[in-house]
Amino acid sequence: MTNPATTQLRIAELWRYPVKSLRGEHLDAAVVTPDGIRGDRIVHVRGPRGPLTGRTRHQLLTLTSRTGPDGEPLVNGHRWNSPQAAAAITAAAGPRSKLIHDTAPERFDVLPLLVATEVEIARLGVDGRRLRPNIVLAGAAPGEERDWPGHALRIGNVLIGIHSLRPRCIVTTIDPDTGAQDLEVLRHIRRDFDGAIALNCWVINGGTIQQHHPAQIVPLPREAAAGAKPGGWITGQPYPYAAAPNAA
């Protein structure tokens, strides 16, 4: 086991997903708040029975999502609440789907941040975008991330709690460019990574982080552990936009 405190890490990539389940945007810098990266997943797709994601609507994963100059999400270059964005969403997710703006913490499947490592992505052998991380770290040893839950990640003044490894789902099998499915990706994760890769994380101290910033694994402050409250709409929390009981 590698001593986490001696590992020299740096930020290799930063990602934000303005619309949940759509393709993300690569960032040079990001503001980290108690709610994760500012502007992350602030719009989601609603269906007639609840939120829709790339798990069941694979083509959503191929649509582009960016943050506009006014801070509002764009879908394929169009403001999220425009007719053009609505048309792209219904084409990918079905005629009764629509976009909803909501910044409740339950919009995250587990916790507000997902941290991955370059070395584990390389071991998996696929495009790292399939894992949908917010932060990708360089400098870790193979398998080292599996020792990090219960520790914290320090990036300058920013402190991020590391909760657990992320069990992976069918989203990892979808090519984010073409929408083609390769089930062998998930089989590989289950066979060689015990079904989990990358880390569920929460924010203890926020601030601004940048690509190439150095990072370090440090002990988790005892009082900070209570700040991790995993769970979201997808994992059973009440969804505030539920359709009428007789909805089709």
Mean pLDDT score of the chain? 94
**Residue range 127-175, pLDDT digits in tens:** 999 999 999 999 999 999 999 999 999 999 999 999 999 999 999 999 9
Number of C-beta neighbours around residue 102 at 10 A: 17
pLDDT tier, 69 (very low <50, low <70, confident <90, very high otherwise):
very high
pLDDT band, residue 242 (cuts 50/70/90)? low
Q: CA 215, CA 203: separation in Å to the nearest integer?
A: 15
pLDDT tens figures, 9-47: 999 999 999 999 999 999 999 999 999 999 999 999 999
> 92-110: per-residue pLDDT in tens?
999 999 999 999 999 999 9
- pLDDT for 236 equals 82
Region 181-194 average pLDDT: 98
**CA proximity to 133, closest of 111, 115, 112:** 115
The answer, yes or no, to whether residue 246 has pLDDT greater than 70, is no
Q: Residue 247 above 70 pLDDT?
A: no
CB 42 within 8 A of CB 65: no
* pLDDT above 70: residue 245: no
Instruction: Give the closest residue to 151 by CA, choosing from 1, 33, 14, 5.
Output: 5
> How high is the pLDDT of residue 226?
82
**pLDDT surpassing 70 at residue 63:** yes
